[in-house]
Structure 1
Amino acid sequence: MTTEDVGRVGIWAPYTHLTPQAASELERIGYGTLWLGASPGAKLDMVDPLLDATERLTVGTSIVNIWASAPGPVAESFHRLEEKYPGRFVLGIGAGHPEATSEYRRPYEALVDYLDQLDEHGVPAAQRALAALGPRVLELARTRTAGALPYLITPQYTRGARELLGPATLLVAEQKIVLEVDAKRAREVGRSRVGMYLRMSNYVANLRRIGFSDEDLEFPGSDRLIDALAVHGDVEAISTELRAHLAAGADQVAIQVLSPDNDILPAARALAGHI
């Protein structure tokens, strides 16, 4: 997978928030990929309607959780999608975070084992990607997959990740946005979605590596933290922040629209063509 395959700008959203009609419109106004969050299950039956409704759009998972979905059934779903929609699906996998599952043990080794099993089931490295934050898992993404899908990051992180990944590995940078010029209202929306991650040790450790302080990371997050992780403002201000990921080395920036009613389309329409 390359930038030509996924496009420079994508949309990240919980799969429950995406409809075939929305996918069709997002393709029409220029988005290259839909990344499906909220841990899509092994059947991946939510992908088919989105690809049926579009012609060129790529759909990827961000991510299938390795503790919740066994590699065999996931591989079967991959091959079904590849047969029906050649080259238009990316299998993103990841270990999630320790607080989400009692099965969470030795995540690096579990990822390696999962990738080994995907190899055995014929899922090509060129059509899979890995949720990666720390250096060790970024290196695994570089050597065993098409690329990395870091989440809850800043352009500073993107720059460092590109240095670790080298020039040939796909790097998709997720960025939350709130299309709202009133800072207080925007932070309320951003904090409602970002705050929960401050109770998850893997995200907190990565945000410390980026340079946020203990004060920033104290629940529910400082204004400085929220402003960086859920950027807000008008179209031009947000577009500038999104372009910063591309300038830092991301192949694609994946926009996660935050809104009180979970309707991603108004902001996606407003931003289309500006990044």
Structure 2
Amino acid sequence: MAVDVGGIGVWRASFYWPGDAGQHAEIAAELEDLGYDAIWIGASAGDLALPETLLDATSRIAVATGIVNVWTEPLDQVVASYARVSGAHPDRLLLGIGAGHAANVEPTGQRYERPYRKVVDYLDGLDAAKTPVPRENRALAALGPRVLALAAERTAGAHPYLVPPEHTRRAREILGSGPLLAVEQKVVLETDPERARTIARATVNRYMTLPNYTNNLLRLGFTPDDFGGGGSDRLVDALVAWGDLDAVLSRVREHQDAGADHVCIHVLTEDPTTVPRPQWRALATALDLVS
């Protein structure tokens, strides 16, 4: 794998980064100083402007898109943007792509049908471009067995989102020993159960009407009853590591023991627009990231 994302990263959606490029650069520099190995950007735009800003501000940390949507982000733009950014920062940009969800795609006027075929066609386009995106510098959002197998065959590996450690174990069995398995893990640094689950549900609830996620959770043994009300306690506790630092570290180790190469930590707070810098600092210390 050309892009080394290391063992621990942070995950944050693009729309929750502050609007000022100077702030982006400052945050990226601090994350690098704290010892994190990678920054994952959810809902990444095809112009790759945010990854470029973060890479420009740092010298070591990798940046990964988690993900670029194959329906909404034009292939030609993504290829050109990747060439520009990776040319300036060799082997530090991992292009994560995926099929997204009908609820996000169909408002653009497209029909969300045959998503597997759409992803395959996009990968073909990345291969056939004048300046191809190398297999080892891209990853695939993958939950089900078929797409996990595709990730192993056509990319550096898989980036599962909204999954418990049991999914990580199953994903590793499908991927085999070689491909990257980079798992997103939501965390709430709050020890009061009611408050922690309230914070967690505010995010988990957004995914309870998206079949890609609910079908995956059904395969893992959850039931439709677990999806109501923002998620049952059982579901929330499986998807979100909440409590003190030791509780979060324990969940990270569970993913690692199940076969994850990389865990990207997605900190949830009461106000999702607030950048969780205190939590990132505390977690970096607890994880002993600074060498």
TM-score past 0.5 threshold: yes
Give the AA of the match of 1:64: V
Q: Distance in 1 between matches of 2:283 and 2:268?
A: 13
**Residues 1:27 and 2:32 are matched in the alignment:** yes
Tell me the equivalent position of 1:8.
7
CA–CA distance in structure 1, aligned partners of residues 203 and 254 of structure 2: 22
Q: Retained in 2: the 8 A contact 1:132–1:141?
A: yes
- Which residue among 92, 111, 115 is the counterpart of 1:107? 115
Letter in 1 for 2:97: I
Q: Is 1:146 equivalent to 2:156 in the alignment? A: yes
Q: Which residue of 2 aligns with 1:118?
A: 126
Amino acid at match of 2:276: I
2:154, 2:286 → 1: CA distance? 34
Which residue number in structure 2 is paired with residue 51 of structure 1?
55
1:33 maps to amino acid: A
One-letter identity of the residue aligned with 2:7: R
Residues of 1 paired with 2:133 and 2:52: CA distance?
18
Q: Could you tell me which of 204, 207, 223 is aligned with 2:233?
A: 223
Runs of 5+ consecutive residues of structure 1 not aligned to the other structure: none
Rounded Cα–Cα distance in structure 2 between residues aligned with 1:207 and 1:5: 29
1:160 pairs with one of 147, 151, 170 = 170
Residue 70 of structure 1 corresponds to which residue in structure 2?
74
Task: State how 1:201-216 maps to structure 2 within 5 Å.
Answer: 201-216=211-226
**TM-score (ref. length: structure 2):** 0.91
Give the TM-score of the pair, scaled to structure 1. 0.96
How far is the alpha carbon of 1:220 from its aligned partner?
Answer: 1.6
CA RMSD of aligned residues (A): 1.2
Stretch moving more, 218-227 or 240-249: 218-227
1:217 shift after superposition: 1.9
Could you tell me how far 1:210 is from its partner in structure 2?
1.2
Distance across 2 between alignment mates of 1:162 and 1:35: 20
1:263-274 alignment, distance < 5 Å: 263-274=275-286
Pairwise CA distance, 1:273: 4.1
Deviation, 1:17, is: 3.4
Name segments (4+ residues, structure 1) moved above 4 Å. none
SS at match of 2:204: helix
Q: Superposition pairs for residues 179-218 of structure 1, below 5 Å?
A: 179-218=189-228
Runs of 5+ in structure 2 lacking a partner?
A: 18-23
Query: 1:33 touches 1:57 (CA, 8 Å); kept in 2?
Result: yes
User: How do 1:225-240 and structure 2 match up within 5 A?
Assistant: 225-240=235-250
Identity of aligned residues (%): 48
Tell me how far 1:172 sits from its aligned partner: 0.4
Distance, in Å, in 2 between the alignment partners of 1:274 and 1:200 is: 34
1:243, distance to aligned residue in structure 2 (A)? 1.4
Determine if contact 1:152/1:229 at 8 Å carries over to the other structure: yes
How far the C-alpha of 1:238 sits from its partner, in A, is 1.1
